[in-house]
Each structure stands twice: as structure tokens, then as C-alpha cells.
Structure 1
């Protein structure tokens, strides 16, 4: 691959293991709120249903189809509804409890710290995330990730979500970088990969589940430590 100066990373599902951290959080909240007694008989079904709904709502948020408030209002209400719970039985404050607890979890994808330490010695590293400021700050500090990144670009502060080209333009301007010397690394084909490629910036698709790679995506990795050999 060509020589780069600036590496731009996504955070959730790329470095910070969102699904694993969410699963730990949901296990705890399931017990804390007595969901079995409220009719949610299966913890596994609860987590699977939430994960499916949350992924879809985040995809809609990336594309500007729903707001932050709508995402937070819908993901558990829809999950409990899908599982047959009467709306009157939905525990008050469940979403708030989740938002408080989940970002404190510290599970990262394998080789995250080793890879970032290596790359930090050679490149200028930055984050571009569609996550929310109050959550991302807690994740970065608690996981010891903040020290690697010169700039942390958060979509709700910029006013545009990935894949909108304006957020990539803002990130490059902030970093003092050009498209030619920059590359985006992330898990979302729509937000990270096509967002960057359509902007004219190279991209690496982080694909730990080894999903089929579209033919128009030039480079993929299945593990973060592959970056130490590619870059």
C-alpha cells in the first residue's frame, strides 16, 4: 500500500467491541430489573432482539433517517414490544441505565492496544465517530484509548454523520491532512468505507466476522494486527 501520514479510525465495532460490551451490560440489567418476572423469559432472546434492533437503528441514524433521541427512545421500546411485553411494564429508566453503564465497559477487539501503540509510533492517528459525546469520552478514557489520538471528531458536534462528505472534510481540515496522505479504517461499509471512498479517500474495511466483501471495496482486514503488516 502507498505511504500514509494520517490514519482515521472508527471507534465502535472497530476498536471498542460494542456488541460484547452491550451484551455484558444487558446481562446485568436483565437481572437488575427482573425482566424474567416481567415476561422476558429468555436472556438470550432479549440480547439478540436488542442487538438486531440497535444495529438497524444505528444504520438509520448514520443515514440521517432518525435523530439521536429517536434512536434512544426506540431501541428498547421496540425490543420489549417484539418480545411481547406490555408497554406499561417496560421498566422506567432502562435506557438511561444502559447509557450510564455500557460506556464503562472496556472490552476491545483483540490486539487493539498493541496495534495502536505500533501505529502511533509511525503515524498521526485520529478518530471519526458517529457515537455520542457523553458516551465516547467515557469509553476512550476507561479503555485507555484517548492517548493514541490527536483529534477525536464526533458527528453530533460537527453536524454531519458519516458517510456525509462534510465530516471527512472537517476531519482532514482539523488534522491538517490531505486526502492523498490519509486513510479511513472502520467496520461500517456504508458509513466508514463508502463514506471515505466517495470522498476520495482510501479506506480499509475491518471485517472481523468475515462477511462477504463487496468487489468495489479494495482492502479488508479480519484482525486489527493485520494493520501492522499493511501499513
Structure 2
């Protein structure tokens, strides 16, 4: 039998304590914090629940894959892949309370790693919040309207579903549903398509202008010669009394 097979499996509590000890070393704390910050988009949406907490910090690194998705951070020194929001909490608070082992999201966004959005709770309390639907706050009409017009804006910019998820924190089905609603709307749909065409033309015009400016900077002589020839032709077309 190999050494790995003979060693007993560590419990979740033992793994957490090992992670806490690792992060308590100043060099490890600083290095892990740099890694964490390099995989965060701080321009997330403000949560509908507890908006006073400010915007979510969305994790852009590896995830657990299953739903709901959680970020994960590989730490080779201790052979662990703890959830990113747990690491964010420990970097801020050092340890979790003995009786509160679950790190819950006050914002309801499982990809959020903003330490101000995280709270240590008992496993029982965490499960109660899930059953009460605390993860999915009710959406009022104003929020629905905002989401719809956000979807319009993303459609005009031709953002991908992944880009929209990163910017809004919404799930894949929600993004797809909003996009379908925009395209099928008898009034908004044609406007979105027309605006896309206008943006494409504006982009093409901008690129053409940029190429002309670049050509001018590279060699202005041909442009000056053409301008001089044009002015000479205009002067010859004027009546002699106006010359």
C-alpha cells in the first residue's frame, strides 16, 4: 500500500484548521491574498438583498462546476482546493468561530468573495436559510424592468452569455431567458437589431478614420500634395474677379 492509502482521510474540520494555520503565516497570507485578488472582478452588481453591503466581488478563477457554483483556489502546500469565499473570509478574520463552520453569502451570490458579504454561521442556520429561499429574494417590478433593459444593453453590445454572467452574477438560464425576451419583443427586438447595425457602421467608420490618421502620421507628403492640387483646381474655377 502507498503512503497516501495508509494515511486516514482528514475531516472537514481538520482541513479547515490546517488552512487556518497555513494562512496565519505572514508570507503565506500575503501570497494567497495576491493570488485571490488577481482572480476577482470587483465590478459586480449590488445585491438586491442587503444593497447597503455594496457590490459583489465576482470570482473569475476555477469553480466547483456543479450548481450552485463556488470558486475554488488550489493551495499545493497543503494539498487542498478550498472554496474561494472561505479563503477570503479567513484572510480577513483569521479563523472561523468554533461553533460556526459554514461561511454563508449575505448577498446570495455563491461566486462572490467580498468579505463584507460573508458571515460565519452554524450549519443548521445555513440550511434554514436555504430552505427559506433566502438565496433567492423576490424580484419586484422595478428590478424586472432593470434586468430587461440590462439585457437590451448587453444584446446591443453583443456580449456573450459568459461575459454577461461575469458582469451581473446572474445564472446561465436567467441570462438566456432575458436575451430571448429581448429578441422576441415586437418593439424592442427590431430596435436592438437596428442599433447593432448603427454601432457596426460607427465602428467601421472609426477604424477607417484611424487608418487615415495612421497613414498621415507615417507619410504626410502625399496628403499635402493632394490638398495643394485640390486648392489649385478650386482657384482656377473661380471667376477672374474673385481671384
Structures share fold, TM-score greater than 0.5:
no
TM-score by length of 2: 0.27
TM-score by length of 1: 0.28
Structure (1 or 2) with the larger CA radius of gyration: 2
Which structure has more RCO (C-alpha within 8 Å, separation ≥ 6)?
1
